[in-house]
């Protein structure tokens, strides 16, 4: 049987692999809390309600110490050391300069000469080292008339603001309910973490939007490419998608899949 203790350990593991840099002082603090709280739990075996209250308070403490509070002002990415699940290591603070916190170039339209007539450019941990560890990124989205950001997913949530044009944006819940709407200048929509979502320019001028995501490196998994740009044998792609052989071949040739 899973115990509250297992859940606490799981919650902590999840926090360690969150996008925040691992903060060893906070971790030590959390471990002390865990020992203290857990021995207290042992003395309260008969009081389920009390345990529940402690668990809720404890979860709050963990999320507060990992999600919000830091013992350093910033952790500018040190690209000379490999990236890890918690982000890049911190550049020596004595070598940090103002430009580590600046990204320029989102004032100009991206290159939309491609199959989907779309360009995405922006500030994330590889282009703006000061974002490392802060749980943020920001992108400019240009979608030409008839263009589309095809259905895709990220590890985190996204918020969009439309600056020019008219787009249909939407996402699909894990129960397959679709939430979608036509957005115009000034409209904002949020796409909850990891859910499939899309944007389509349905207006007659190029659309411009900005999106922000709550990770310095949100990841991007474009479903059609995942299915048809891979090296899985076509016979397996047919089985796992229920799409017939000719169509699988056609899509593999569009997306560059092999086998
Ligand atoms: C950071 O750089 C300073 C100045 O070069 C140096 O004295 C210090 O030892 C460095 N700190 C670390 C942790 O490397
Ligand atoms: C835009 O992208 C296309 C396709 O990759 C390329 O041929 C073209 O040179 C690019 N245009 C500019 C202005 O960079």
Cβ(80) – ligand 1 distance below 6 Å: no
Domain containing 257: what range? 221-259
Consult the annotation and say whether 197 binds a ligand: yes
What is the pLDDT at residue 113?
Answer: 97
pLDDT, average across residues 30-43: 41
Residues 245 and 117 in one domain: no
Find the residues whose C-beta lies inside 6 A of ligand 2: 111, 113
Cβ(92) – ligand 1 distance below 6 Å: yes
Q: Looking at the CA of residue 111, tell me the nearest atom of ligand 2.
A: 1
Q: What's the CA angle centered on 232, arms 228 and 236, to 5 degrees?
A: 95
Q: Tell me: the pLDDT tens digits for 159-209?
A: 999 999 999 999 999 999 999 999 999 999 999 999 999 999 999 999 999
Residues 40 and 105 in one domain: no
Alpha carbon nearest to ligand 1 atom 5, residue:
94
The pTM of the full predicted model, rounded to 2 decimals, is: 0.73
User: Rg of the chain over CA atoms, in angstroms?
Assistant: 23
Alpha carbon nearest to ligand 1 atom 6, residue:
94
pLDDT, average across residues 8-14: 37
Residues 194 and 259 in one domain: no
Residues 121 and 140 in one domain: yes
Residues 156 and 187 in one domain: yes
Consult the annotation and say whether 154 binds a ligand: yes
The total domain count for the chain is 3
Q: Tell me: the pLDDT tens digits for 96-123?
A: 999 999 999 999 999 999 999 999 999 9
Residues 61 and 106 in one domain: no
């Amino acid at each position: 049987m899973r115990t509250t203790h297992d859940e606490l350990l799981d919650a902590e593991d999840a926090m360690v692999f969150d996008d925040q840099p691992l903060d060893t002082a906070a971790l030590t603090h959390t471990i002390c809390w865990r020992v203290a709280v857990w021995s207290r739990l042992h003395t309260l075996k008969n009081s389920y309600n009390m345990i529940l209250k402690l668990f809720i308070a404890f979860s709050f403490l963990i999320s507060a110490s990992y999600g919000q509070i830091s013992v350093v002002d910033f952790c500018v990415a040190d690209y000379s050391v490999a990236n890890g699940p918690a982000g890049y290591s911190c550049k020596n603070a004595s070598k940090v300069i103002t430009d580590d916190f600046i990204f320029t170039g989102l004032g100009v339209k991206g290159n939309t000469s491609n199959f989907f007539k779309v360009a995405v450019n922006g500030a994330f941990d590889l282009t703006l080292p000061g974002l490392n560890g802060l749980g943020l990124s920001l992108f400019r989205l240009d979608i030409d008339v008839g263009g589309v950001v095809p259905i895709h997913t990220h590890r985190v949530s996204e918020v969009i603001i439309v600056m020019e044009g008219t787009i249909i944006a939407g996402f699909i819940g894990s129960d397959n309910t679709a939430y979608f709407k036509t957005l115009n200048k000034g409209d904002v929509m949020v796409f909850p973490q990891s859910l499939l979502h899309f944007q389509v320019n349905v207006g007659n001028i190029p659309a411009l939007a900005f999106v922000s995501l709550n990770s310095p490196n949100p990841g991007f998994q474009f479903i059609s490419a995942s299915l048809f740009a891979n090296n899985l044998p076509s016979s397996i792609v047919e089985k796992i998608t229920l799409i017939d052989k000719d169509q699988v071949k056609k899509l593999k040739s569009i997306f560059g899949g092999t086998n």
